[in-house]
A and B are shown apart, each in its own frame.
Chain A
Amino acid sequence: MKKLLVFLVMMSLVAMMPMVIGEPQQDLMVSVQSMTNINITPDLLNFGPVVPGTIGSVPVDKNIVFDATGSNGDITVSVSSITAGLFLNGLMLDGSSALNFTKTLVCNIDNNVCSYDKTPVVPTLNVPLGTLAGTQTGVINYLISAAKFCGDDIKNRASEVCDGTDLNSKTCLTEGFNGGTLSCKLDCTGFNTSLCTSSS
């Protein structure tokens, strides 16, 4: 009897040992989010010496490049403001006033990773006659934002089942109900069918 008892205790100890040391389990979790990444080069746009009445330009290899590598969606780059008088009205980006500049960096999905067109933007500067001689400096203020996102009421991303009022032509009927109002979940991952009705 004594041997049996010792045996039982020993067996229970052996059985429980791995659980005390640590269960062989692995917990997994991921929080997937959109990422916006931008790199603007060069650091300095130097138009060099320019004679009034002509157009200034930077060396070709110093044109502006917006690189959104590392992002996972379309990115919009726009100019929100420019300080300094001459640049304010004279700076052109790709032939248009810099103040109206907006460029969408489109995510080209390649092997499940976004790649972006890095075509340089050509800056030029109109220097009107009568401009006083001297060195002028200015500042470009850029605004970076996502071009397409959940909440813009357009189903425009692969991850979106719907977006706000854009239900991708789906209705309660197509979702297997008899009527009612279909709506999109706020996170754009699916439909809210709580207002759909079924016939009894």
Chain B
Amino acid sequence: MKNFIFLFLMILVLAVGEVKAVSYSPSSLIFNLNMGEEGCQMITINSDSETIGVFDNWAEKKEMEWKANSFNTSSNYHSIIMNYPRIIYRNEKQAKICMRGYKPGEYHGILLLKEEQRGNSIIQMGIWLKARINGNESAFKPEKNQEAQKPASIEIKQAVKSTDVDLDKEQITGNVAANMIEDNKNNSRYYWIIGIIAVLVIGLIMFNKMKSKKIEYQLK
């Protein structure tokens, strides 16, 4: 009888193994762009996962409920080009998320940051996306349209090149801000040093002139 019971005993283990604390910021990204214009924003992630996979899903219509499971459409469906690192490594705490839209309208989506499986668990972090693409569809340039159809790898290269400058202008945070403040301080110091040198030089010239006049006067 004991053996019989033993046969039907089961050891059931549901592992939520090695679940660690994760944090990310912000909770949503809002892009307000003109057609063909690229916008970039930074996200911050704090996770112990060695790698984090990044991908995005979109709602077919903006009226749909904000529910990740309902967002099953790709960005291409809305003529949106997303540009971001597909994998974020553990030592990278920040990632640049860039977007470009070619069809006017408002679109809702979610950016998913998927931790790698640690033990038997996976945590996905969802950042809500809202994109408003402004412009007139009739003014849609064919060459831009063709650009939208290009392979993603080509698009990524172009976008990274253009966003480096934009981001410094728009994202005045962290190191960028610190550098700007330091630059301003350095500039004002330079002006004062130049001013002092100018005063000293003028003083020296005047002193020499006066000295030579005095000598001339004494000679006379």
A137, B13: Cβ atoms under 8 Å? yes
B10, A186: Cβ atoms under 8 Å? no
Q: B110 in the interface, Cβ–Cβ < 8 Å?
A: yes
Q: How many residues of A contact B (CB 8 A)?
A: 70
Min Cβ gap B22→A in Å is 6
Q: Which of B1-55 contact A (CB under 8 A)?
A: 5, 7-28, 30, 32, 44
| A133 in complex: contacting residue of B8, B68, B132, CB < 8 Å | B8
| B66 in complex: contacting residue of A19, A41, A152, CB < 8 Å | A152
What are the residues of chain A within 8 A of B14 when measuring CB–CB?
44-47, 87, 91, 123, 125, 137-138, 140
Min Cβ gap A71→B in Å is 8
Q: B189 in the interface, Cβ–Cβ < 8 Å?
A: yes
| A34 in complex: contacting residue of B16, B26, B122, CB < 8 Å | B26
Q: A122 in the interface, Cβ–Cβ < 8 Å?
A: no
Alpha-carbon gap, A150 to B132, bound state (A):
14
A33, B32: Cβ atoms under 8 Å? no
Q: Across the interface, name the chain B residue whose C-beta is closest to A131.
A: B10
Min Cβ gap A126→B in Å is 11
Q: A174 in the interface, Cβ–Cβ < 8 Å?
A: no
User: Chain A CB within 10 Å — which of B7, B16, B24, B69 has the most?
Assistant: B16
Alpha-carbon gap, A51 to B11, bound state (A):
9
Min Cβ gap A167→B in Å is 16
A36, B27: Cβ atoms under 8 Å? yes
What are the residues of chain A within 8 A of B16 when measuring CB–CB?
40, 42-45, 64, 140
Alpha-carbon gap, A45 to B14, bound state (A):
5
Q: A119 in the interface, Cβ–Cβ < 8 Å?
A: no
B69, A135: Cβ atoms under 8 Å? no
A137, B123: Cβ atoms under 8 Å? no
| A78 in complex: contacting residue of B23, B68, B110, B127, CB < 8 Å | B68
Q: A194 in the interface, Cβ–Cβ < 8 Å?
A: no
Alpha-carbon gap, A12 to B199, bound state (A):
8
Min Cβ gap A2→B in Å is 6
Alpha-carbon gap, A123 to B8, bound state (A):
22
A12, B196: Cβ atoms under 8 Å? yes
Q: Which of B175-206 contact A (CB under 8 A)?
A: 177, 181, 185, 188-189, 192-193, 195-196, 199-200, 203, 206
Q: Across the interface, name the chain B residue whose C-beta is closest to A129.
A: B8
Q: Across the interface, name the chain A residue whose C-beta is closest to B119.
A: A43
Min Cβ gap B109→A in Å is 11
Min Cβ gap B13→A in Å is 5
What are the residues of chain B within 8 A of A5 when measuring CB–CB?
203, 206-207, 210
Q: Across the interface, name the chain A residue whose C-beta is closest to B171.
A: A31
Q: A161 in the interface, Cβ–Cβ < 8 Å?
A: no
What are the residues of chain B within 8 A of A2 when measuring CB–CB?
207, 210
Min Cβ gap A129→B in Å is 9
Q: Which of B122-166 contact A (CB under 8 A)?
A: 122-128, 130, 132
Contacts beyond the supplied A46-B14, A151-B30: 11 A-B pairs with Cβ under 8 Å: A2-B210, A20-B196, A29-B172, A34-B27, A36-B25, A45-B14, A138-B14, A140-B14, A141-B124, A144-B126, A151-B128
Could you list 14 examples of A-B contacts with CB < 8 Å?
Answer: A5-B210, A20-B193, A23-B188, A36-B24, A41-B19, A46-B13, A47-B14, A71-B23, A78-B68, A136-B10, A139-B117, A145-B128, A151-B28, A151-B128
Instruction: List 6 tightest A-B contacts by C-beta distance, closest first.
Output: A146-B27, A145-B126, A151-B130, A37-B23, A39-B21, A149-B28
Q: Which residues of A contact B (CB under 8 A)?
A: 1-2, 5-6, 8-9, 12-13, 16, 19-20, 22-23, 27, 29, 31, 33-52, 56, 64, 70-71, 73, 78, 80, 86-87, 91, 123, 125, 127, 131, 133-146, 149-152, 186-187
